[in-house]
Structure formats: structure tokens, C-alpha cells
Amino acid sequence: MDNPKYKELKGKVVAITGGGGILCSTIALAFADQGAKVCVMDLNMKSAEAVSEKIINAGGVAIAVQADVLDRESLQAAKKEIAEKFGFCDILINGAGGNHPLGTTSESYLLKKDMERTAEDFKTFFDLDMEGIQFVFNLNFIGTLLPTQIFSREMVGRTGCSVLNISSMNAFTPLTKIPAYSGAKAAVSNFTQWLAVHFSKVGIRVNALAPGFFLTDQNRSLLTKEDGGLTPRGTTIIDQTPMGRFGEPEDLVGTTLWLSSEQSKFITGIVVPIDGGFSAFSGV
Ligand code: NAD
């Protein structure tokens, strides 16, 4: 710990929602490595604690805070706890997010014969469940907007404050099968631009990462087989990724620190693809 490349991040209070997850735990460790005071917020307190312990054991400064990004009271309580321990938040990372099977179709394309299929687990567009779709929009969009409302209020008028959202490559061009997740992340990208403009006179920058395909627990079974080989979907992704591999959580670190530091002080409202060239490749 304390390996500062961005000296201005030292001592900053960084609140990370979904901080117990795969991608954001790596981001939490990276901020701690810059000497920041890291608030690992998660619905799942056990995973938040595991990350904060890892930071503290490595000599960094961190606390685990239970917070539900969809619950105003829970977020207010988290803010109070953080303010008492570390002071007001300087940098907010909106990392909580994810998909839901009920907002996902079984196949990429609808074929006429699919209309006759009766298997309960086979889902076409017509079977998409509003509960699943609402869950995904809430978690990704409201779960970004609400924590920002709560945590950015005290950023107004201070210097060096910023918000970093986590969108996705599917916000630019939707991926097959996951209309709810793609639409919700498109909303996150759009909101990033909206808020960047809205906050532009009060010194708060707002940007987003758009990760491509990162192998995590959520998608591992979709992309890889038990023997470690690729599923057809995994193969399609790698074939469409010029760099020829999935992303590693560490691939997000450089852009995250840069967008949170003074090195990017004239940058607001951008959504940065971190995708190994996926979005640049036409497939031919
Ligand atoms: P993850 O499931 O490992 O982490 C998400 C974390 O959010 C979990 O720790 C979970 O407990 C927490 N969480 C869930 N609901 C919550 C709530 N209501 N309140 C607070 N915390 C809650 O997922 P990940 O793959 O590390 O993804 C992190 C972010 O990156 C998400 O926004 C995801 O949509 C986005 N993303 C991931 C990928 C990928 O390939 N993994 C690609 C693009 C974008």
C-alpha cells in the first residue's frame, strides 16, 4: 500500500458502492494503494468486510459499510457513518450493478418455430418478466442516481471531487439476449452526460467506465465451460475482441485513477470503453 502515482488522491475519501464485488474490490484496493481512505460499501456486508480487511492488512485505510443503493435511508446512514469516521466523500464510484435472468432471452434471435416452444425455461422476448426488467433498471440506473444524490451534495463547491459511474459496452450497442441490462446501462451513460453538464459549474466532474467483457462469477458459466474452454458465446466474444482475451479487473485501474485525479481535471461527461478493441472492430 501507499504506492502513490496520483499524489492528490492521498487522503481523499473514496466511497465505492458494490465495493465487495469482483471489479470494484480491485478498484478499492487501487485507491488504497494511492493512500486514499476507502469506504467499501455493499449490500453484502461480508464481502465488504473482506475487502476492507484486505486493505487494512496491507497497510491501507478502509472501512466496510453496509449500504443498499436502492434505499435512501440506508445510504443516508452510510453517509453519516463515513462522515464521522473519515469526513465527507470526495470521490464516489457507483459500482453496484448487474443483470437478472428474468430480463434475459434464451436465444439471440427469435425464430418462427420458437413460438411453439413450451419449455418453461425457454424465454423469448414475449416471456420477459417485468419484475426482472424492473430489477435490472432499478439496480443499475436508480442504484447509480440515488447514491449520487446522497453523496455528491457535500461535494458542491469543493475542489477535486468527482463521480465515476460504471456503464458497459452494451450501452453503445446492445448485446443479444439482455435487453434490460443493455437499456439500463444506456441510461447510466446518458445520465453520466446529463449530470456532468448539470454539475459543471460547481466543480464536480462526472464520468463513466464502459467495461467490455470481464470474466466474473456472474458470467463465467455463460462464457466458459467446466473444462475451461469457451462456450459458443465466449468464442464469439473473443473472436470480436481484437486483443483476443477477456478483461482482467486490473485493466480498469489506470482509467479509474486517472478519471478520479487532477490529471483529468478538464474531463467531464465521458464514457470510456475498456474493451480490448471490441467496439472498434467491425468483425471483418
Ligand atoms: P459483482 O456482482 O461482482 O459486484 C456487484 C456488487 O454489487 C456485489 O458485491 C453485490 O453484493 C453488490 N450489490 C448488489 N446489489 C446491491 C445493492 N442493492 N446495493 C449495494 N450493493 C449491491 O459484479 P462485477 O462484475 O464486479 O460488476 C461491477 C459493475 O461493473 C456492475 O455495475 C456491472 O454491471 C459492471 N460491469 C461488469 C462487467 C463484467 O464483465 N463483469 C462488464 C461491464 C460492466
Region 123-144 average pLDDT: 97
**189 pocket-lining for ligand 1 (C-beta < 6 Å):** no
The pLDDT score that the predictor gives to residue 128 is: 94
Ligand 1 center to 164 CA (angstroms):
14
Atom of ligand 1 nearest to the CA of 99: 34
**183 pocket-lining for ligand 1 (C-beta < 6 Å):** no
ipTM of the complex: 0.99
**213 pocket-lining for ligand 1 (C-beta < 6 Å):** yes
From the candidates 86, 135, 137, 181, give the one annotated as an active-site residue. Answer: 181
The pLDDT score that the predictor gives to residue 219 is: 80
**CA dihedral sign, ordered 118, 123, 125, 127:** positive
Atom of ligand 1 nearest to the CA of 139: 18
Atom of ligand 1 nearest to the CA of 170: 43
Give the tens place of pLDDT for each residue, 166-224. Answer: 999 999 999 999 999 999 999 999 999 999 999 999 999 999 999 999 988 778 888 89
Residue 2 has pLDDT above 60, yes or no: no
In terms of Cα–Cα distance, which of 165, 160, 164, 152 is closest to 7? 160
Task: Name, in order, each residue with C-beta under 8 angstroms of 267's C-beta and a sequence gap of 6 or more.
Answer: 205, 207, 259
In terms of Cα–Cα distance, which of 126, 254, 272 is closest to 196? 272
**21 pocket-lining for ligand 1 (C-beta < 6 Å):** yes
**Please, what are the domains in the chain?**
7-100+132-280 (3.40.50.720)
Ligand 1 center to 123 CA (angstroms):
24
Name the residue at shortest CA distance from atom 41 of ligand 1. Answer: 214
227: exposed, middle or buried (Cβ count in 10 Å: 0-12, 13-18, 19+): exposed
**273 pocket-lining for ligand 1 (C-beta < 6 Å):** no
Give the tens place of pLDDT for each residue, 218-247. Answer: 788 888 998 989 999 899 999 999 999 999
**Which of 17, 22, 23 best tests ligand 1's pocket when mutated (most atoms within 8 Å of CB)?**
23
Active site residue 181: yes
In terms of Cα–Cα distance, which of 129, 130, 125, 132 is closest to 110? 125
**146 pocket-lining for ligand 1 (C-beta < 6 Å):** no
The pLDDT score that the predictor gives to residue 55 is: 98
Buried b (16+ CB within 10 A) or exposed e, 146-183: bbbebbbeebeeeebbbbbbbbbbbbbeebebbbbbbb
